[in-house]
Chain A
Amino acid sequence: MDDIKLLGRLDRVTAPPDFDRRVLARVAERRATAAQTRRATVFRFSLAGATAALLVGFVVLNVFVLRPSVSDDRAGAGLAAGLFDQAREVPVMETVNYGREIRSASREPGAVYILEQVSNTSNIPIKY
């Protein structure tokens, strides 16, 4: 069987009558979509660029323009020292008599007390 010649027997088809019009419509549609995509891309990049420029401007402003000077630092330190001088002393005393507490509690059977040192500075005034 000569299949090569047989292939010629397969029916040939042609394009439908409105083929050209549909192709041109598709081209126009694709062109519009491409323009839209291009505009969206430009907008995206310009938005990103503007955000980046704003960020850089903010950093530059803070680092080089609004930077606190050395004299400002000294003024701040002096203020802190003045406040420290004005602080008043408040005596804090331990109010619990542990000796009495243990004596009164020792009658309870089976009680174990753990005494814990809470401060080394009894009778020493604490500054606030």
Chain B
Amino acid sequence: MDEQALIVRLQAGDESAFAEVVRIYKDRIVNFIYQLTGDYQKAVDLSQETFVRVYFKADKYKPIAPFSSWVYAIASNLAKTELKRRRRMALISIDEMPPTVEISTPSREASDSGLVRNLREALEALNPRYRIPVVLKDMEGYSQEEIARIIDRPVGTVKARISRGRNMLRRQLEKAVHGNAPLREQEIYDGRY
């Protein structure tokens, strides 16, 4: 179905159009928020909230940008708010942090190799300012112009943030591999890699 027609129906309050939008974007949005927060349950919750906002604010969407950018912008803002809230919580008291805040993902134990775990930890250590553009670029495959529209920043800023984010990620990974434990070797030795 033509996306533009779908959006017009959505803006008219058509629930079947909304259900179609949810069907199209749900996996991408859940995955996007999961990559930002590292928490599957929270990602599902924030994705649902994203679609609720899409439904109630559909009339605010102007077709000057792709619809997907608009949906991603809502998801990105919600994820950013969640990350800020977590940071505030961590600043108040590390001891009071609930252990569930860390990570909960289906079959995480089974799927996470050491390298992937290190990669995820490095990503989670990255400031959301850099993490969001890096995930949008390198995992969701958006162009810099589209990312600029999603996070509402100039293209130059986006370029700089992606570059800095990648560098920070690289440094974090190198530190993990060479500093703490040579994961590749260890994994090869364990037969997991």
Which residues does A use to contact B, with CB under 8 Å? Answer: 1, 3-4, 6-16, 19-20, 22-24, 26-27, 30
Chain B interface residues toward A at CB < 8 A: 15, 18-19, 22-23, 26-27, 29-31, 34-35, 40, 43-44, 47-49, 51-52, 55-56, 105-106, 111-112, 115-116, 119-120, 123, 134-135, 138-139, 166, 169-170, 173-174, 177
23 pairs, A vs B, C-beta closer than 8 Å = A3-B166, A3-B169, A4-B138, A6-B173, A7-B119, A7-B139, A7-B169, A9-B119, A10-B123, A12-B31, A13-B43, A13-B105, A13-B106, A14-B27, A14-B30, A15-B30, A19-B26, A20-B22, A22-B48, A23-B48, A27-B18, A27-B51, A30-B52
Query: When chains A and B are docked, how far (Å) is the Cα of A98 from the Cα of B35?
Result: 106
Residues of A contacting B169 in the complex (Cβ-Cβ under 8 angstroms) = 3, 7
A15 touches B139 (CB 8 A): no
**Least distance between B179 CB and chain A CB atoms (Å):** 14
Shortest Cβ distance from A9 into B: residue = B116
**A46 to B170 CA separation, bound complex (whole angstroms):** 62
A interface SS class? helix
What residues on B are CB-neighbors of A6 within 8 Å? 115, 119, 173
- Which secondary structure characterizes the binding site on chain B? helix
Q: Given contacts A12-B31, A13-B43, A15-B47, could you give 8 more A-B pairs where the C-beta distance is less than 8 Å? A: A3-B119, A6-B119, A6-B173, A8-B138, A15-B30, A16-B44, A23-B22, A27-B18
Our count of residue pairs bridging A and B at CB distance below 8 angstroms stands at: 85
